């Protein structure tokens, strides 16, 4: 895939779904939902008194479940999904830690036994196709076993979008193994595991690679690194959440990228966004989530 419009087109071919939105009392949230109205039927779990004037301003009609407290709203939104009254969930103004606590609630949450991880999708003007990044939003300092789960989650997402050959760059700051940089060893082990077929057919993992090598054939030629992944990565596997988050936001803000983000590994898609994200980013995130549903 080269453009976000291809993801939107795929989402439009799916049935319209009911989506619970936790604490959506903000114009950017409601404007994003208005843009996605063809794709989802929103259920707004939040403060009715605050929502009604904002909805009128945006021109959005939706069911409201009146919950004043944003933390309680997250739990109520999760219950709607776990009970089958909604098909997916989106974070609004509830802060991320409290939202995720609701998602992971042992009694009514969306646990599956799998590790939950975040996948970012970006259309970058300077890159020749869509670029995916994981995990830039959830797992702080994943070890090797967790990176295996994170990679498997992301591969499931790309396969759901129709990818049958996936080039993965396990990035680090250098291309050599370094005893003070455990991420270089993790990347090398992931590459070897892919060679042995651990991630299924059509998956090529190269690492450790610098980010420049992953996205620039010219950089690879200068550094004399030969790999089918070099300059043509579909998926960037980052060492930790800090490096991934900083990298993704730098690309979005300075690279003028179109983007979206979801959490995978739960029993239903979870649209997880920054409260500062634009309505367009929220729209693309919703489309991204829907496009991955079977």
Q: In this structure, are residues 67 and 46 in contact, taking their beta carbons and an 8 Å threshold? A: yes
275 burial type by CB count under 10 A (0-12 exposed, 13-18 middle, 19+ buried) = middle
User: Residue 3: what pLDDT?
Assistant: 96
CATH of domain 4-112+266-291: 3.40.50.10950
Residue 251, burial from CB neighbour count under 10 angstroms (0-12, 13-18, 19+): buried
Give span(s): CATH 3.40.718.10, the chain. Answer: 117-254
Global model pTM greater than 0.85: yes
Residue 267, Cβ density class (10 Å: 0-12 exposed, 13-18 middle, ≥19 buried): middle
CATH number of 117-254: 3.40.718.10, 3.90.1010.10, 3.30.450.20, 3.40.640.10?
Answer: 3.40.718.10
- Across 206-245, b (16+ Cβ under 10 Å) vs e yields bbbbbbebbbbeebbeeeebebebbbbbbbbbbbebebbb
Within 83-143, residue ranges assigned H as helices are: 96-103
* pLDDT per residue rounded down to tens, the chain (294 residues): 999 999 999 999 999 999 999 999 999 999 999 999 999 999 999 999 999 999 999 999 999 999 999 999 999 999 999 999 999 999 998 888 999 999 999 999 999 989 999 999 999 999 999 999 999 989 999 999 999 999 999 999 999 999 999 999 999 999 999 999 999 999 999 999 999 999 999 999 999 999 999 999 999 999 999 999 999 999 999 999 999 999 999 999 999 999 999 999 999 999 987 767 889 999 999 999 999 997
Residues of the chain with CATH 3.40.50.10950: 4-112+266-291
Return the pLDDT at 108: 94
Sign of CA dihedral 105, 110, 118, 239: positive
Residue among 152, 222, 221, 243 nearest 190 (CA): 152
The residue ranges of DSSP E strands in 49-116, in sequence order, are 63-66, 88-91
Residue 22 and residue 13: Cα distance in Å, rounded?
Answer: 26
Per-residue confidence (pLDDT) for residue 32, from 0 to 100? 95
């Amino acid at each position: 895939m080269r453009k976000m419009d291809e993801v939107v087109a795929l989402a439009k071919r799916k049935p319209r779904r009911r989506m619970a939105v936790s604490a959506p009392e903000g114009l950017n949230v409601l404007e994003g939902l208005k843009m996605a109205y063809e794709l989802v039927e929103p259920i707004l779990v939040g403060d009715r008194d605050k929502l009604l004037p904002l909805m009128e301003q945006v021109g959005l009609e939706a069911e409201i479940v009146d919950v004043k407290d944003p933390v309680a709203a997250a739990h109520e939104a999760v219950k709607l999904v776990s009970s089958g009254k909604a098909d997916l969930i989106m974070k609004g103004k509830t802060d991320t830690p409290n939202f995720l606590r609701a998602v992971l609630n042992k009694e009514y949450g969306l646990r599956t036994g799998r590790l939950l991880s975040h996948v970012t999708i970006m259309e970058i003007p300077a890159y020749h196709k869509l670029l995916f990044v994981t995990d830039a939003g959830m797992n702080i300092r994943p070890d090797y076993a967790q990176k295996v789960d994170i990679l498997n989650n992301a591969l499931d997402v790309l396969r759901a979008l129709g990818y049958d050959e996936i080039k993965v760059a396990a990035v680090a700051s250098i291309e050599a193994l370094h005893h003070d940089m455990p991420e270089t060893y993790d990347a090398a082990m992931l590459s070897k595991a892919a060679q042995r077929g651990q991630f299924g057919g059509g998956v090529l993992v190269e690492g450790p690679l610098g980010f420049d090598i992953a996205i620039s054939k010219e950089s690879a030629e200068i550094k004399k690194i030969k790999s089918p992944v070099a300059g043509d990565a579909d998926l960037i596997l980052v060492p930790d959440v800090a490096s991934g988050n900083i990298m993704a936001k730098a690309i979005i803000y300075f690279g003028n990228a179109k983007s979206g983000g979801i959490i995978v590994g739960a029993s239903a898609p979870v649209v997880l966004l920054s409260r500062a994200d634009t309505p367009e980013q929220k729209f693309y995130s919703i489309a991204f989530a829907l496009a991955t549903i079977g």
